Amino acid sequence: MEKDIFCKIIDGEIPCYKLYEDVDVIAFLDISQVTKGHALVVPKEHYDNFLSTPAPIMHKVFDIAQRIGQIDIQFLGAKGVNILTNCYETAGQTVKHFHVHVIPRYSKEEGFMLEMKAGAEGLNLPVIAQTIKDNL
């Protein structure tokens, strides 16, 4: 199977601005800086996305994402931070290797905007809630 871009970074085949590394996790600056300090936190083991990553690894990734977010506020002058992960193409995932974006925010008028509009109407909320509840 062809290695994805993050596997190549992990294996040192592609350079990056590395922020952190341990046996399970690596963090580096996103090549495309949505804002100053935009970082990616990635498990070294390949998992396609957040949903297919074992909980202990997923927790380690989020521990580092949290720390980088705190540093963004304390040391980069960020006023806020967006922490997000896209799962599957439909949700905007372009690299099929689980990663968490840590995006420092300096103002509301930056290149990144997460807009949540109530777009679905006529939903049967009791049935939807029951379906999720029954499978948790």
> Which chain residues interact with ligand 5GP by CB under 6 A?
5, 14, 16, 28-32, 86, 92-95
In whole angstroms, the minimum distance from the beta carbon of 131 to ligand 5GP comes to 27
Closer to ligand 5GP by Cβ: residue 1 or 120: 1
How many of the other CB atoms lie within 10 Å of CB of 16?
19
Closer to ligand 5GP by Cβ: residue 14 or 129: 14
User: Between β-strands 100-105 and 80-84, what pairing exists: parallel, antiparallel or unpaired?
Assistant: antiparallel
How many of the other CB atoms lie within 10 Å of CB of 42?
24
In whole angstroms, the minimum distance from the beta carbon of 64 to ligand 5GP comes to 15
- Which residues are marked as active site? 99
Which positions ≥6 away from 56 have C-beta within 8 Å?
none
